[in-house]
Amino acid sequence: MAATADTPMRDVMGVSGPSGAAVDMTSDPSAAEVRLPARPESAALVRRLTRDLLRDRWLLSRQLTEDAVQLAAELAANAVQHAGAHSFGLLVRRRRGWIRVEIRDPSRALPCLLPPGRELDLNGRGLFLVDALADRWGVDLLPRGKSTWFELRLTGR
């Protein structure tokens, strides 16, 4: 069963939501939005859920899977760092020729693509990386927050 905004999160891998309930690693982000706690360790859960879906279920290429995993984790990290919320959502869709990964959070503040800073800067490269690797990306305002998404083309990879 996929976790939703109304479904409690169960503790898995030591990550639990604000209510003390935890994340269910059997959740399917292609069936429904999976809610995750807005904590740094949730990026690892986003990577695992995305990798398991794209590689194991959809049998997509290694390179496409790794690109999607990296970009999903970057967007999740942005939601954790900037949205100021207790949780965020992961949703992955596949349609003919494309995959789309969305990170949803309750903030309506739009992300800003900044040029990369100095070589040694460790922060601020997430959207730059998304812009460089994704075929398309953007932000959709939702009734309660936003969805920051990217799409990767399935053909030619």
| Greatest extent of the chain over all pairs of C-alpha atoms, in Å | 44
Which residue would you say has higher pLDDT here, 51 or 114? 51
Using 50, 70 and 90 to split pLDDT, how confident is the model at 27?
A: confident
Per-residue model confidence (pLDDT) at position 83: 82
pTM reported for the whole predicted model: 0.79
Distance separating alpha carbons of residues 94 and 151, to the nearest angstrom: 9
Using 50, 70 and 90 to split pLDDT, how confident is the model at 22?
A: low
Which 8-state DSSP code applies to residue 56?
Answer: I
Using 50, 70 and 90 to split pLDDT, how confident is the model at 13?
A: very low
Which 8-state DSSP code applies to residue 22?
Answer: B
The enclosing H or E element of 149 equals strand 145-153
Per-residue model confidence (pLDDT) at position 38: 94
Using 50, 70 and 90 to split pLDDT, how confident is the model at 113?
A: confident
Tell the residue number behind the tokens 């760092």, with chain if given.
81
Tell the residue number behind the tokens 């998304």, with chain if given.
130
Distance separating alpha carbons of residues 145 and 96, to the nearest angstrom: 28
Distance separating alpha carbons of residues 56 and 142, to the nearest angstrom: 31
What does 37-54 look like in DSSP terms, one character per residue?
Answer: ESSTTHHHHHHHHHHIII
